[in-house]
Structures are given as C-alpha cells and as structure tokens.
Amino acid sequence: MAPTSSKKRKHARSGERKAGCKVRRITDSGNQATVAIPNDSVVAQGAGDSNATKTRQSSVQIQVFPTALPTQLPLDQDTYAVRPCYVEYYDLITAQLRYGTRTITVSGTSGTGNTMLYGYVFSRFSRENPDAIIITASYTDESRLIRVTVFEGERVIEAEYLGGRRLMKKARALAIERKTKLVYMFDGPPKSPPPPPAQMICFTNPNNEWLDKVEHAAQSFVCYTPLWELDELVATAAHVPWRRPGKPDVFLDRATVEERFATFGGVARECLAGCEKFVTRRKNELVHDIDVTFDQQTSECGITCQIPVRPGGDRSFPREVLAGLSALSDEVADQRDRKLGGGRANDAKKDKLKCSEPRYQPGVFFKLAVWEEYKETFMSGVRDAEENSTDF
C-alpha cells in the first residue's frame, strides 16, 4: 500500500472522536473531503440514575433483524437498537444511490454494529423500493463468499449457500431483462465491485485490501460510522435486554456499562455483552496482546489497540478489534507500565507511541510498516486459487 493512501484515510479517523461531532469522508471520482457533523443523537440517562442531568433524552427504537438477510457472523440476538445516526447514514447512502454512485462502502470500528446498520438499511430500502432486485450476500474478511439471498423488494426470490455466484448472475440477468433497479448489499468485502449498471453497498470492518480497491475508483463513496457515546450505550442497555434461551433477560445497569466503557471505549459488542465471561476474556485478550506487542519489541504499535497474534497463532487474518479505547482499565494500565518500565525511558516510549500514526479509528495506533509486515505474514498463508476468481 502506498503511504499516501494511509495519509488520506487519516483525516476522517483522527477527528471522529471530536466532542459533539461525527466525521465522514467522501471519496467521489478521486475528490475527497472531510465533513464534521454535529452529533444530534439524543439518549435517555439510565432509569436508576436519579442525579443524572437529563438534557437530552429519547426512547430507544427497537427493530427485528431481517431473518433472511445473510450475515458474516451468526447473530446472538434477533432484535437491535436503532442508533440515531442510522437515519442520517441511511439518507447519506440513498442520496449516493440517487447520484449514481456505483460503489458505496460503510466501515467503522469492529464491534460497533455495522451489521445492524446493514439490516436497517436493507429493511428501509426494500420497503421503499418494492420492485427493486436486491442481491444480498455475506463474505468473510478474506472475501470468501458465504451465502447469497436475492430479494424483490422485501420478498425473498431465492437463497443459496452453495452456488451463490450462479444465483447472483441469474438475478443480475433478471434485473437487466426487467429494466428494474438492481442493488447489491454485502456484509463483508467481496473480491471486487460488481460490473455496471449495478450499484453496491458494502458494510465491512476496516479492510486494507478492499479500501485500496475502492478509495481511488471513480464513482466511489466511503463513510465511517461513529463509535458509541457513553449515554447512548447506557440508554440502550436500559431498553434492550440480553436474551438467553430458558433464562431471564439480562439488563445492564449504568455502573456496569461505565466500567466497560473505561476499558473498551465506544465499542458496543463488549460494553453491552450479557455474558460476563465473554467480557473478561476480551479484557484478557487485550492484556495478552499488549504483552505480545512489547515481547516482539514492536514499540510502534500503540498500547490501546489489540494487534494480531504472532505468526503461527490461531488467527488466520489480523483483526483490528477493541479499537477506540478512550481509557485503560487498571489491569491494562498495570500491564502497560510493567512492560514500559519507569523513569525517562518510560516517558520517551509513551511520547513515541502518542506520535504513532492512527490506523482506522482513534485509539488504534499502528505504524504503516509494522502493519504491512503483519498483513503480508498472515495473508501469505491464506491465499489460494479462489483469489483470482470473480463472483459476478
């Protein structure tokens, strides 16, 4: 990857956590602009917080996730909270469709609900466009096709796990024959955008290979969803229970959410998890990865990110998870201080880490050279002949 690509991406990410603002970057025919938008999301304080200042409050809207929609990973819950920003992003995405933009990419920190936004956009778009042919599919992070479902508006036409490429080509031919609107919606990055006249909306975790393909392409649009605010997490926790078969619903209190927010930042997956063992495991993974970072003397990597395990580990592809930490828990801070040591050397290392280049989201600091080294090491073991095939 050329260093210039990273610098261009830097602007949208570095400002995303500005107080009271969300930032999106637009890539359109090679022209880029960074736009700061006032954060109008309004949330209610927790019901048990009698001293809370309720300057903004609203009920949390709950929707059922479309069961026929293919997803990259199985969903633990069949309902989700509609974040206030979803409405804004839907308007943003559909405006690009009207403008004729061919490739629309929606990315953001892993664990903040990109798949939920995918479900929200599909639900509204299919309802508002009953005659459109919508080809939905799920892909792994390595762009391997998982499942395909074809809709006409909200109605399922056909779905397949095997033979998904054949189904997509069949649906494309049907849309062209009918001269009707054709839109692809993907959860996960495909190998390449579909050919014209189709338009595509891709919801994906940060993915270097995919972003490099689309950022400089003509008629391409890229936007990043914001991390969750604390009050937004608290309001959702008070309204959306964690449901488990045969067991009582779990509602998280404000104190629990605040404690997790201090460790994981605005990442909803960990902050709203109903299983405490999962949260503990994720915290231990974070501490372990900090340990791995300094064991390998990769001091360019920031202390607030989870990096991939060393080559030969059990993960086949590097994942940028737990991005966007706003603070460190005591355990993580202790681990950091133990690895860095004390005195002036400690301060110098901390200053060096602060100067590292942000990767994807605030809270993740990853030097480009180190990232490329990890990426090539991991990817060399997972490439196969399928990489040269096409889905369309």
Q: Do 103 and 130 belong together in one domain?
A: yes
Q: Residue 119: which pLDDT band, with cuts at 50, 70 and 90?
A: very high
**15 within some domain:** no
140 vs 48, residue with greater confidence = 140
Q: Are residues 267 and 280 in the same domain?
A: yes
Query: Residue 166: which residues within 8 A CB-CB, separation 6 or more?
Result: 160
Average pLDDT, the chain: 68
Is the pLDDT confidence value at 67 over 70?
yes
Range of 190's domain?
61-226
Residue 312 forms part of a structural domain: no
For residue 40, tell me if it sits in a domain: no
pLDDT tens digits along 281-308: 888 877 776 665 554 444 333 333 333 3
Length of the chain: 392
242 in the same domain as 105: no
Domain assignment present for residue 30? The answer is: no
Structural domains counted in the chain: 2
Reported as a single tens digit per residue, the pLDDT across 217-229 is: 778 888 888 888 8
pLDDT at 378 over 80: no
CATH number at residue 120: 3.40.50
244 — pLDDT class (breaks 50, 70, 90): confident
Q: What is the 3-state secondary structure (H, E, C) of 88-154?
A: HHHHHHHHHHHHCCCEEEEECCCCCCHHHHHHHHHHHHHHHCCCCEEEEEEECCCCCEEEEEEEECC
Q: Is residue 238 located within the same domain as residue 294?
A: yes
Confidence band (pLDDT; 50, 70, 90) for 38?
Answer: very low
Does residue 238 share a domain with residue 192? no
Range ranked top by mean pLDDT from 54-63, 86-95, 344-353, 380-389: 86-95
pLDDT, one tens digit per residue, over 97-111 is 999 999 999 988 888
* pLDDT score of 56 more than 50: no
Pair 135, 253 in one domain: no
> Residue 45: which H helix or E strand, with range?
none
Last residue of a domain, which of 198, 226, 254? 226
- Cα(20)–Cα(34) distance, integer angstroms: 16
pLDDT confidence of residue 50 = 33
Are residues 212 and 246 both part of a single domain? no
Q: Across 8-12, 235-239, 245-249, 261-265, which has the greatest mean pLDDT? A: 235-239
C-beta of residue 272 within 8 angstroms of C-beta of residue 256: no
Last residue of a domain, one of 226, 254, 279: 226
Chain centre distance of CA 235: 21
pLDDT tens figures, 77-95: 888 999 988 999 999 999 9
Q: Name the percent of the chain lying above pLDDT 90.
A: 27
